[in-house]
A = this chain, B = another copy of it.
C-alpha cells in the first residue's frame, strides 16, 4: 500500500479535522466527549457507504467524503436536529491510495465548514477487499421536540422538499445510458454525487411537522416507513410530485421513468406531514428557508402507500423502494 501508516494517517490527515472541537482531544485519546446545550437532548444516527454499492470508482474521493457527511446530515435534518459532531470509521482495502484518502478528507473538511460540525473520533482499520466508510453523527434538539416517523395523523398533508428523481437520472447519466444537454447532465450528476441535506428546513419544521423522514431509499418506500410507524396509509398524486427541469427533459425522452424515480432514492429531500390547517405556516417556512416544498398527497386511515394518476386511478408498483438485501 502506497500510503501512510495508521497513526501517521490519523495524525496528519484526520486530526486536522478535529481542530476546534475540544471534546475530540485532537484524536489523541480513545474517546471523545459530546456536549449538548442546556435543555437539549442528543440525537444520534449512523449511515455507512460501501464502494460498489453507494459509490464507485467514478466518484471523486472528495465527493465521497461530502456525500458521507450529507447522507448523515440528512437523517439529522429529518429529525429537526442541529448538527454537532461526528465519528468516522474507515475500513480501507489495500488498493486505496494515500491520494484517495486525502481527497476523501478534503471533502469532509469542506462540508464540516459548510455545516458547522467537527470530527471528534473514530476507528481506522484495514479490510481485505472492500472499502467501507461509516459515520455516526450527533445533533441536538430542545428536549422532547425530535420529529419522528411515527406521529402522522389521518388527514395530514404530505409534503416533499426540492425535487425527486434527479439522483436516479444522474446515475443513468454517469453510466452513459441517458444523454442530455451538458448543463442538464451536470445538474443531475451533482444531485447524485452531492445531495443537499435540508438541515435548516428540518429545524424550522420542529413543532409543525407531525412526522418526517428523509428520502434515501425511495419516496414511496420512505413514505411507507412513515405509514407503518404512524399506523396509517397514504395517497400520493403522481402528477404533484415535484420534478426538476432536467428531470422533465429526461422524462420526455424516456416516458414511464417517473415510476422508477419515485422508488430509486438517494434524493435526500425531506418528506413530512402536517395538519391541513398549517398550510400557510408551511408556505412561510419554505419561503424563510428558501427551500421549495410541495404538497403531494394526504395521510388516511388504513395502511400502505397508494399512488394515483390525474384521474384518481391507482398505479401499480412492483417495489416501493431500495433494499440493501
A interface with B by C-beta (< 8 Å): 1, 3, 5-7, 25, 28-36, 41-48, 50-54, 75-76, 78-79, 81, 87, 89, 91-92, 120-130, 132, 134, 136, 138-139, 146, 148-150, 213-214, 228-229, 323-325
Contacts A46-B136, A52-B128 given; indicate if A79 touches B323 (C-beta within 8 A). no
B31 touches A146 (CB 8 A): yes
A46 touches B78 (CB 8 A): no
Q: A54: which B residues are within 8 A, CB to CB?
A: 125
CA distance A163 to B174 in the complex (A): 56
Contacts A35-B42, A44-B33 given; indicate if A324 touches B130 (C-beta within 8 A). no
**Min CB–CB distance A320 → chain B (angstroms):** 11
A46 in complex: contacting residue of B25, B121, B130, B150, CB < 8 Å: B121
Contacts A89-B134, A325-B126 given; indicate if A78 touches B149 (C-beta within 8 A). no
CA distance A228 to B3 in the complex (A): 23
25 A-B pairs with CB atoms under 8 Å apart are A3-B325, A7-B323, A25-B148, A29-B229, A30-B78, A30-B79, A30-B149, A30-B213, A30-B214, A31-B79, A31-B146, A32-B45, A44-B138, A46-B123, A46-B136, A47-B123, A48-B91, A50-B127, A53-B128, A54-B125, A89-B134, A91-B130, A124-B324, A127-B130, A134-B134
A33 touches B41 (CB 8 A): yes
**Min CB–CB distance A264 → chain B (angstroms):** 16
